[in-house]
Amino acid sequence: MRNLMVAGGILALMVWSYVGTEFSLRELLGGESAIQMLAYVRKLFPPDLSTQFLLKTGYWALETFAMSFLGTILAILIACSLVFLSSRNLMFAGLLFDMERSRPWVRVLRTLLCFSAKAVLNLLRTIPHLVWALILVFAVGLGPFPGMLALGIHTGGVLGRLFGEVIENVEVQPIEALQATGAGRLQILFYGILPQVLPECVAYTLYRWEVNIREAVILGYVGAGGLGQQIQIAISLFLEHRLLTLILAIYLIVTAVDALSAYLRSRMA
């Protein structure tokens, strides 16, 4: 009975969205749209493989790579500067503060600091990177620099949240042991918490880098340089042969970054 209800609900959602998005299976499998798509695909071939254009494409690919790389580093800086403030077990709750009998207003202050750090991270994270890029292009002009900033700010929010979750779920026994030896809070952070969370944080960062190389491509659309900007130009000016070259370049660079990140993660683990 319950399964039936779930199935019915899913079916209803499907019909609702099918109608709402003007989706048409017939169009897709042989109607007008299918013909248009085939015609478009045919126009893409052959890719523009002239040396001059290949060299330029290589440069744009490197620009995109640079944007994702620096963006990820900026994100680490942002995340690390906020994550300790936003972790509840480092700021006011849990084992580290069980024994504390200090003035209540200190505790209130800490709690407030923690929640405001969390709020900042949420703000950075929920505004899509494309909107950040639009704002920053408006502020500092065109080019990969605003793209890198946009990636860094948005990803900083994401990493801050992920790191925070890792830190809040840390094993308590080592901390307890350190505390029993009379270690201070800073010592506990460096010898009890960081060694535990570091591998996971590095893995998350590498994973976000994989995401960022894709997003760096997207950001070019609003004027943040790299392959994305050229794709926008190629699509708008109907330069389909060049478009295919650029798409191949995206495929190569994304695959390369994925492989590199997977290799590094396997070495870390």
Partner 1 sequence: MQSRHSVAPVSLTLPARRHSTFRIVWSILFILTFLGSYRLAQVKPLLLLEPEGRRNIRTFVTGMFPPDLSWEFVSLLGRPIIETIQLSLMGTFMAIVIGLPLGLLATRSLTFTGILNEWEIVDSRPSVFLLRKGTYLLARAILSLFRTIPEFVWAFMFVRAVGLGPFPGVLAIGISYGGMLGKVYSEILEHVNPGPLEALQTTGASRVTVLFYGLLPQALPNLVSYTLYRWECAIRASTILGFVGAGGIGQQLEISMRMFNFNQVLTLVAILFVMVAGVDTLSARIRHAILDRSVD
Q: Which residues contact partner 1 by CB under 8 A?
A: 13-14, 16-18, 20-24, 27-28, 33, 36-37, 39-40, 62-63, 65-67, 69-70, 73, 126-128, 130-131, 134-135, 138-141, 143-145, 147-148, 214-215, 217-218, 221-222, 228, 231-232, 235, 243, 247, 250-251, 254-255, 258, 264, 267
CB of 136 to partner 1, least distance (A): 9
Cβ closest to partner 1, residue 192 vs residue 228: 228
CB of 153 to partner 1, least distance (A): 12
Cβ closest to partner 1, residue 58 vs residue 184: 58
CB of 24 to partner 1, least distance (A): 7
In sequence order, which residues have a C-beta less than 8 Å from that of residue 51 and are 6 or more positions away? none
Cβ closest to partner 1, residue 55 vs residue 140: 140
The dihedral through the CA atoms of 71, 77, 82, 83 has a sign that is: positive
In sequence order, which residues have a C-beta less than 8 Å from that of residue 203 and are 6 or more positions away? 265, 268, 269
Cβ closest to partner 1, residue 53 vs residue 69: 69
On the CB side of 206, CA atoms within 13 Å amount to: 18
Cβ closest to partner 1, residue 100 vs residue 141: 141
Cβ closest to partner 1, residue 48 vs residue 176: 48
Encode 86-99: b = buried (16+ Cβ within 10 Å), e = exposed. bbbbbbbbeebbee
CB of 239 to partner 1, least distance (A): 12
CB of 166 to partner 1, least distance (A): 17
CB of 169 to partner 1, least distance (A): 15
